[in-house]
Amino acid sequence: MDYEILELGNVVLQNGATIRNGRLAYKTFGTLNAAKDNVIVYPTWYSGQHTDNEWLVGEGRALDPARQFIIIPKMLGNGLSSSPSNTPEPCNGPRFPKVTAYDNVRVQHRLVTEKFGIERIRLVTGWSMGGLQTFHWGAMYPSMVERIAPFCGSAKCSRHNFVFLEGVKAALTADAAFAGGWYKTKPETGLRAMARVYAGWGFSQAFYREQLDIKAMGYSSLEDFLVSFWEGLFLPRDANNLLAMLWTWQNGDISANELYGGDLKKALNAITAKAYVMPGITDLYFPPEDSEFEVANMPNASFVPIRSIWGHFAGGPGLNPEDVAFIDGKLKELLAS
Amino acid sequence: MDYEILELGNVVLQNGATIRNGRLAYKTFGTLNAAKDNVIVYPTWYSGQHTDNEWLVGEGRALDPARQFIIIPKMLGNGLSSSPSNTPEPCNGPRFPKVTAYDNVRVQHRLVTEKFGIERIRLVTGWSMGGLQTFHWGAMYPSMVERIAPFCGSAKCSRHNFVFLEGVKAALTADAAFAGGWYKTKPETGLRAMARVYAGWGFSQAFYREQLDIKAMGYSSLEDFLVSFWEGLFLPRDANNLLAMLWTWQNGDISANELYGGDLKKALNAITAKAYVMPGITDLYFPPEDSEFEVANMPNASFVPIRSIWGHFAGGPGLNPEDVAFIDGKLKELLAS
């Protein structure tokens, strides 16, 4: 096992349900220094595991284990932290409770403080749903977080983003083998349908126009890309886990809690961390206009667009070297400030 | 019955299959004048019937039955023209042959010439797949077509558009009740899933951000919009018909025929008609960049963007009065030139 587990005991969630004997999986890189001031928190994305985050970590990078102590906490529902697939009866499968990004960050905060005794975080950063969690860190623990850099993510799931995810969910659950979540064997047709729906959203029109699936990623045809990349991405995942995280995504909102009572502007305004908000300019689910709204309502934020035609995948997981170099460079700039 | 039928006899298609006793449904408005020079052809869109085209026809409009003779030919596969749902065994249902836009326009040409003896067409126009057919008219019968105005459509299905449609198809066919097309009762789960996938594509991020589903269209909530508009749009349709037209769409290409041998630039260059190519600037499946490419390769075309946040539905079917006024105004301008 190449990661650690923090035993959480009973975790009472925002919606009132409890995860019993909860566990938070995480991985660290580097060493926490004596001053405990070299901490970077880097949450995972939808369906991603820690290994899917490692492309941004390495020698000479902003996230350099030789200098930083990097913590990758894995989202609840991702199959390694408490999830539908690894929770015993009766709260398993489709009965796994609804978990918010707020719930996720609260247990991540326990990891950071209780396990490591950390009081200050230099940077929280993440891609996509990792960006959602990054915004939550900034809004929930403003006095603790010095910098945030959400890339290709948002502080609140937009209505259009919600609708796109409704389509993904409908495709997966249209498969009768899904059986309301009580499948005994993998609902393969649904997982493949979900992947095919996702394919149009993940990369931009320009990406497909320029045939980067073939010319940059090396697939032999568009159909090969749809099967080998997209279906290959979702088939190994558990359907209930995917739906649990999808619910987390659809209900992501930094203001939907007792701190801000649903007032998004108030929540954004409370993020005092120095922030680089980094949308991909061709991202179809987190369009840059949403980031502009966020930046306009944050006291210490800069709008830092990723000028790429890789759509949502400008932000990860390390597919395009130019985008990786841009993001890494901006993280270095932010860390140096 | 509020439309007419042209009996086509045996129609041999591009791919070699034959539609036997084929029929082309159509509706006309206005009167063909003695000079036969007041003809407008206005093909239907994906899943649309003639009634879904009528929003652009009326007194005082560019398409005014008092002055123009307007022919609305219905696409093969739409349920009124020869389709999977109305063709007798053995070529019914999923065995209905693959029909291209080229095949469609060839039989429409028979309607125009054989039935009405028309030699010149003032204007061909259409939304979406109607735009695809409009481009085909311009490329297949350049000496016959004086003007074209495709709106929110393209001359060739782009790779990204193809992928979006793969997702729609996967959602519909993930329903086991679809049974490879041999369903005895409507595959309702699949049709609803397809509708929900479509919902994110049809309207833009900005449309949803501004809550125009509620504020302009009058739905009571986002979920009400997804059910009452989107699921309501697809549930009455026959699944095999939808898939037949989807194939037509995915394989749409004005150059994929003996005239142009797959050379898209050559085909675009052959469209001598005066053309207004009218993309919606927030259309997620026909982005304006594709239209710019088309215009750049056409000898007599103008790029006329519809500056709307209604996404693909800027072009139809008459949902937003401002967009309708804009399109109608541009058609008047084009007809007057």
User: What interface predicted TM-score (ipTM) does this complex get?
Assistant: 0.96
Rounded to whole angstroms, the Cα distance separating B92 from A176 reads: 26
Distant-in-sequence, close-in-space partners of B248: CB < 8 Å, separation ≥ 6: B75, B76, B77, B98, B99, B100, B101, B104, B129
Q: Is B312 helix (H, G, I), strand (E, B) or coil?
A: helix
Q: Are residues A54 and A23 part of one domain? A: yes
Kindly state whether residues A99 and A139 are assigned to the same domain: yes
Q: What is the pLDDT of residues B75-121, one digit of tens each?
A: 999 999 999 999 999 999 999 999 999 999 999 999 999 999 999 99
The reported pLDDT for the residue numbered B277 is 98
Helices then strands, counting H and E runs in chain A, come out as 12, 8
pLDDT at B214 over 90: yes
Backbone angles phi, psi at B209, to 5 degrees: -60, -40
B50 pLDDT above the threshold of 90: no
Residue A310 touches partner B, C-beta closer than 8 Å:
no
A129: containing domain: 4-157+252-336
CATH for B270: 3.40.50.1820
Disruptive mutation site among B154, B157, B158, B160 for chain A (greatest number of A CBs within 10 Å): B160
Q: Are residues B20 and B112 in the same domain?
A: yes
Strands B39-41 and B123-127: parallel
Per-residue pLDDT band at B1 (split at 50, 70, 90): confident
Q: Kindly report the nearest CA distance between residue A158 and chain B, in angstroms.
A: 7
Domain co-membership, B140 together with B258: yes
Please indicate, yes or no, whether residues B84 and B191 belong to a single structural domain of this protein: no
Based on the fold, state whether residues B101 and B214 are members of the same structural domain.
no
Q: Tell me the C-alpha distance between A108 and B185, whole Å.
A: 50
DSSP secondary structure of A162-224: HHHHHHHHHHHHTSGGGGGGT-SS--HHHHHHHHHHHHHHHS-HHHHHTTHHHHTT--SSHHH
Residue that is last in its domain, among A210, A245, A280: A245
Same domain, B205 and B286: no
Are residue A132 and residue A182 in the same domain, yes or no? Answer: no
- What single string gives the DSSP state of each residue in B114-174? IIT----BSEEEEETHHHHHHHHHHHH-TTTB-EEEEES--SB--HHHHHHHHHHHHHHHT
3-class DSSP state for residue A333?
helix
Size of interface A-B (CB pairs under 8 A): 130
Per-residue pLDDT tens digits for B6-21: 999 999 999 999 999 9
Under the banding of pLDDT at 50, 70 and 90, the label for residue B40 is very high
Domain boundary (A222, A245, A268) is at: A245
pLDDT at residue number B32: 98
- What's the sign of the alpha-carbon dihedral B163, A205, A252, A158? negative
Q: Say if residue B125 is in the same domain as residue B28.
A: yes
CA distance linking residue A228 with residue A226, whole number of Å: 6
**Radius of gyration over alpha carbons of chain A, in Å?**
19
Pair A125, A273 in one domain: yes
Residue B53 burial by Cβ neighbours in a 10 Å radius (0-12, 13-18, 19+): buried
pLDDT of B200 above 90: yes
CB B76 within 8 A of CB B35: no
Q: Same structural domain for residues B166 and B305?
A: no
Residue B247 host element (H or E)? helix B239-250
Any bridge partners for residue A125, and if so which?
A149
CB contact under 8 Å between B173 and A190, yes or no, is no
Q: Looking at the structure, do residues B130 and B277 belong to the same domain, yes or no?
A: yes
Residue B44: is its pLDDT beyond 90?
yes
Q: pLDDT tens track of chain A, all 337 residues?
A: 899 999 999 999 999 999 999 999 999 999 999 999 999 999 999 988 889 999 999 999 999 999 999 999 999 999 999 999 999 999 999 999 999 999 999 999 999 999 999 999 999 999 999 999 999 999 999 999 999 999 999 999 999 999 999 999 999 999 999 999 999 999 999 999 999 999 999 999 999 999 999 999 999 999 999 999 999 999 999 999 999 999 999 999 999 999 999 999 999 999 999 999 999 999 999 999 999 999 999 999 999 999 999 999 999 999 999 999 999 999 999 999 9
pLDDT tens for each residue of B150-186: 999 999 999 999 999 999 999 999 999 999 999 999 9
CB of B201 within 8 Å of a chain A CB? The answer is yes
B157 touches chain A (CB under 8 A): no
Give chain B's domain count. Answer: 2
In this predicted structure, what is the pLDDT of residue A279? Answer: 98
